[in-house]
Amino acid sequence: MDIHEYQAKDLLRRFQVATPAGQVARDAQEARAITEGFGGRSVVKAQIHAGGRGKGGGVKFAKSPDEAAELFGRMLGMTLVTRQTGPEGRRVNTVYLAAPVDIARELYLSLLVDRGAGRVIFLASAEGGVEIEEVAAHSPEKIVKVTVDPVLGLAGYQVRELAAALGLRGEALRQAGGFLRNLYRLFLEQDCSMIEINPLVVTAQGELTALDAKIAFDDNALFRHPEIQAFRDGAEEAPAETEAASFGLNFIKLDGSIGCMVNGAGLAMATMDIIQLHGASPANFLDVGGGASEEAVKNAFRIILQDPGVKAVLVNIFGGIMRCDIVAKGIVNASRDIGVTVPVVVRLEGTNVEEGKRILAESGLAILVGADLEDAARKVVAAIH
């Protein structure tokens, strides 16, 4: 789960990680007052769950309280397009004002779980304020990786290693230990999946501070963090995906014309792949889960068909321990109730498969039966041509 910058910075403050003062403004009047409180200048920042805000016009410097009020008015409600939002952009519903900082150096710092090592790692680079992927591509030697032992925690020598990689001296170097250890504590205690501070800044006064902050959380651990769940912003999520999740369906919208309904995540991806190999494009990823009950199938059909770009649907159920006759009945009832108008190709595998196929064939509905994965893919692609 992703959260906004202003929420991330609240968390940083709670864990004693230095970050510039800041506050969300509800209206232009408040934007003016907050800026006055910062000494008459502020940084006005659009809050969306996507990077590249600066280049997209979502981060502006206000040299006076009036300018802050004006920038606030322009930013709130605007559609911000960045390289991460896609061409449709995101509506800005929240605007954050931060105290300006005199920047001496911009650095990069992040924490994440290294899958291979099975441990939390720090990545640090003296090249901050640019995308880390770019640094990794042209000069990987400038990124230093430190792997944390879960028992020892972040060791003193590792703090020194990271501080050296960041080129910290003087006051910033003295602050590094607390800053890094508190970040690590935040990562563990809040079950983060990623913390990215880009840029981490050394100010003209020589202090270390998190100018920006992006924090993501492990969805599997949200059950033990009700206060983090409260950070969820439904407006940042695709409505169909939120709706699907409420029915226990795993759904991701894509741009193609063939809707997919599959049990199991791996098979769902493989079904998308075989559609693409046959020259068409999947309209979605959808895992109906192990049960594939009539109710789940019905909801899945409804969500898939909300997309006007869907010209045909491929249902691929490897029944396993489910009985195919029951799945088939579910598909027939769901198609009748929903009034499915596009061609539907069904591939069923599992117990009582012959009975399942008979139910589909005798339903009187325009349901085509795929003999196997290959046959089903060929039939559904043919159906849209």
Among 88, 138, 220, 364, binds other proteins (CB under 8 A): 220
Give every CB contact of residue 324 below 8 A, 6+ residues apart in sequence. Answer: 317, 348, 349, 350, 351, 352, 353, 355, 356, 357
Segment near other proteins (CB under 8 A), from 5-13, 58-66, 299-307, 312-320? 312-320
Q: Interacting stretch for other proteins, rule CB under 8 A, among 10-18, 164-172, 227-235, 317-325?
A: 317-325
Is residue 96 part of the annotated active site? The answer reads no
For other proteins, the binding residue among 21, 78, 101, 188 (CB under 8 A) is 188
Helix (H, G, I), strand (E, B) or coil at 79: strand
Q: Is 108 a catalytic residue?
A: yes
Rounded Cα distance, 303 and 217, in Å:
27
Ranges of beta strands (E only) in the chain are 22-25, 42-46, 59-62, 79-80, 90-91, 95-98, 103-114, 119-125, 143-147, 192-203, 208-210, 214-217, 250-253, 258-262, 284-287, 312-323, 344-351, 367-370
User: Which of the ranges 59-67, 108-116, 293-301, 305-313 carries the binding residues for other proteins, by CB under 8 A?
Assistant: 108-116
Question: Which residue in the set 99, 270, 338, 369 belongs to the binding site for other proteins (CB under 8 A)?
Answer: 270
Tokens 């491929």 locate to 314
Instruction: Choose between 123 and 340: whose C-beta lies nearer to other proteins.
Output: 123
Per CB under 8 A, the segment of 21-29, 32-40, 109-117, 296-304 that binds other proteins is 109-117
Determine, following the binding rule CB under 8 A, whether residue 14 of this chain makes contact with other proteins: no
27 near other proteins (CB under 8 A):
no
Instruction: By CB under 8 A, tell whether 15 contacts other proteins.
Output: no
Name the minimum Å distance from CB 345 to other proteins: 14
Nearest to 300 by CA among 245, 360, 376: 245
Q: Which two tokens mark 193?
A: 């999946």
Unique residue bearing structure tokens 């802050």: 68
In 3D, which of 142, 140, 125, 146 has the Cα closest to residue 197? Answer: 125
Size of the site for other proteins (CB under 8 A): 55
Contact (Cβ atoms closer than 8 angstroms) between residue 261 and residue 315: yes
Q: Are 116 and 136 in contact, with CB atoms under 8 Å apart?
A: no
Residue 342 or 373: the one with the smaller Cβ distance to other proteins is: 373
By CB under 8 A, is residue 93 in contact with other proteins?
no
Binding other proteins by CB under 8 A: which of 115, 230, 246, 339? 115
Which residues of this chain interact with other proteins, rule CB under 8 A?
113, 115-116, 118-120, 132-133, 136, 149-151, 188, 191, 193, 218-221, 223-224, 250, 252, 254, 262-277, 281-282, 285, 287, 318-321, 349-351, 372-374, 377
Which residue numbers are catalytic?
108, 196
